[in-house]
Amino acid sequence: MGKCLIVGGTGMLAHAVRSLNAQGHHTTVIARDTDKLNSLRSACPYPDRFNGISLDYEDYDLLKQRVKNEQLDQDGYDLVIAWIQSNESHALQTILNELVAAPVRIFHVLGSRSDLSAVQSSLKLSHNHTYHQVQLGFVIENDSSRWHTNEEISDGVLKAIESGDEDEVTLVGTLEPRDMNPWLKTK
Ligand SMILES: NC(=O)c1ccc[n+]([C@@H]2O[C@H](COP(=O)([O-])OP(=O)(O)OC[C@H]3O[C@@H](n4cnc5c(N)ncnc54)[C@H](OP(=O)(O)O)[C@@H]3O)[C@@H](O)[C@H]2O)c1
């Protein structure tokens, strides 16, 4: 059984959290809203293996302290999934600096417009970290494009985790043709 930390796990990654919990992994989720954390705990097959940490991950001092303390109980995390909206955030680096287990597999979920190389080079990884990026593209359907559903996103992340450590980058869906990116419809 693994010990997983899922950052931003109450939204589109909630299904992935439930699946990991159902597989018997201990799941720790970071998000702000305690109601959403409590609902997710209730939806997990093994609520006693669910730990919700309610905080704003942009409060780096608090984030550092909580990750440090929680790990004392868990003996470290061996899997980290991070969905952090801003590429400018230092939240993931703050967490990486505190990880005590070795090795740790890290799956960094990124949006369709993220510059993957720039994101990776902005992170300081230790030799104990195996770092993967899961980029969320979009779906082409009936000559039109749409974003993925939450379940499709969670399944894409789970597949990346299951496929082992060979692929450094997993694309969920497609990024082509670029002029069909649903983001352009919102501009
Ligand atoms: N390419 C794609 O297909 C794609 C890409 C991105 C998004 N989307 C779609 O867009 C929808 C909305 O996306 P979303 O970005 O709102 O993702 P989301 O996964 O629905 O929600 C963000 C998650 O991060 C947490 N969070 C956000 N800010 C936080 C903070 N400062 N500190 C701690 N936790 C924080 C949220 O919980 P709290 O609010 O409780 O903190 C929640 O767990 C998704 O449901 C998805 O369907 C699609």
Query: Mean pLDDT of residues grouped by 10 in the chain (187 residues)?
Result: 94 98 97 98 98 98 95 86 92 94 92 94 94 96 94 97 88 94 85
Strands 139-141, 144-146: pairing is: antiparallel
User: What pLDDT is attached to residue 71?
Assistant: 85
User: What pLDDT is attached to residue 87?
Assistant: 80
CATH of the domain at 98: 3.40.50.720
The continuous run of DSSP H or E covering 112 comes out as none
In a domain, 39, yes or no: yes
**Domain of 58, in residue numbers:** 3-134
Q: Domains in the chain: how many in total?
A: 1
User: What pLDDT is attached to residue 98?
Assistant: 94
User: What pLDDT is attached to residue 16?
Assistant: 98
User: What pLDDT is attached to residue 45?
Assistant: 98
In a domain, 27, yes or no: yes
Around ligand 1, the residues with Cβ closer than 6 Å are 8-13, 30-33, 36, 56-58, 83, 85, 111-112, 136-138, 147-148, 150, 153
Name the nearest CA neighbour of 156 among 99, 96, 85, 83: 83
In a domain, 156, yes or no: no
Phi and psi at 111, nearest 5°, equal -75, 175
User: What pLDDT is attached to residue 11?
Assistant: 98
CA distances to 1, 4, 176, 182 from 31, rounded to whole Å, are 23, 14, 32, 26
User: What pLDDT is attached to residue 118?
Assistant: 95
